[in-house]
Amino acid sequence: MRDATRHFLAEFIGIFALVFVGSGAIMAAQHLKAASPLLVVATAHGLILSIMVTATMRISGHLNPAVTIGFLAARRIEPLMAGIYICAQILGAIAAAYVLKASMPADMFAATRGGGQAISLDVTTGQAFTLELIATFFLMFVVFATAVDPNAPRVGGFAIGLTVGADILAIGPLTGASMNPARSLGPAVASGIFEGQGVYWAGPIVGAIFAAVLYDRLFLRRAPELPLHGAVRADDEPPPEVAPPPPPARSRKKR
C-alpha cells in the first residue's frame, strides 16, 4: 500500500506541475502578447517536463497516460499499477487546471480555454490524429532510449523534455501538440470545452504503444531463445572472447 501511495503521489505531483506551468505559460504568453508565444510555450513545457521527470524518475516518471499505456503494452508495468498511474495523472491534471482557474484572471483563463490545446481549422481530424501519433511516437521512443534501455545514456529527463519542446515547435500551431491525454483533459474539464479530446487520447496512445513495442522488441538487447546463437550484439561490436577449455584431469596410477 505504501509503495502504491508513493507512485500515486509522484505521478500526481509531476503532472500537476506540467499542467500548471504549461497552461500558465500559454496564458502568460497571450496576456503579455509575447513576440514568439510558440517558443515561450515550447520552452516552458520542455523545461518543466525535464525537471519533473528527473525528479520522479526514481519512483515513476511517466507523467502521461499514453506513456503508461505504452509501458503496459510492452509488459513493463503491472496492470494494477498502470491503473494507479493513470488515475493519478488524470486527477493531478484536473487539480492543476482548477487551481489555475481559481488563481488566474477569469478573462485570461476563458480566452485560452484554461491553457488547453485546440486543433487548427486548417487541419482535418485524420491529419491531427496522425500528427499527434507521430509526435508521441518520438516522445515514447526517447523515453525507452534514455530511461528504459539499460545501456542508455543517463541524462535524466533532459532528452524527454527536449523532445516535447521540439514537438511543440513542429506541430503546436496545428494540434496544440498534446502528446499527453491527461495534459489535454485537465484544462478541458476546468473550462468545459472538450473539443478534440478523441484525437488527444487516440493519437498519443497509438503512437506510444507503437514506439514502446518497437523499441522493446527490436532495439533492446536480450538473450536469444536458442542458446547456440550467442548473445545479441551490434554489428560493429567485437565478439566476446571465449576462454579455452580447461585441460583434462590426469588420473594417478596406483603403484
String of DSSP letters for 201-232: HHHHHHHHHHHHHHIIIIIS----SSGGG---
pLDDT at 225: 45
CA dist., res. 119 & res. 126, Å (int): 11
Q: What is the per-residue pLDDT for 243? A: 57
Residue 231 in any domain: the answer is: no
Containing H/E element for 157? Answer: none
- pLDDT of res. 255: 47
DSSP for residue 123: S
CA distance 13 to 33: 29
Residue 238 in domain: no
The boundaries of the domain holding residue 208 are 2-221
Report how many domains make up the chain: 1
In a domain, 207, yes or no: yes
Q: Is residue 250 included in any domain, yes or no?
A: no
Contact call for residues 75 and 209 (beta carbons, < 8 A): no
Determine the Cα angle at 137 with ends 152 and 124, to 5°: 165
CA atoms within 13 A on the CB side of 147: 27
- In-domain check, residue 142: yes
Note the Cα 84 to chain centre separation in Å.
16
Specify if 165 maps to a domain. yes
Specify if 109 maps to a domain.
yes
Residues with Cβ within 8 Å of 192's Cβ and at least 6 positions away in sequence, in order, are none
Please list the ranges in the chain whose pLDDT falls under 50. 223, 225-232, 234-235, 255
Sign, CA dihedral 140-142-146-149, equals positive
Q: Within a domain: residue 11?
A: yes
CA distances from 19 to 74, 91, 115, 124 (A): 27, 11, 8, 26
pTM: 0.84
DSSP conformational letter for 112: T
CATH number, domain of 100, equals 1.20.1080.10
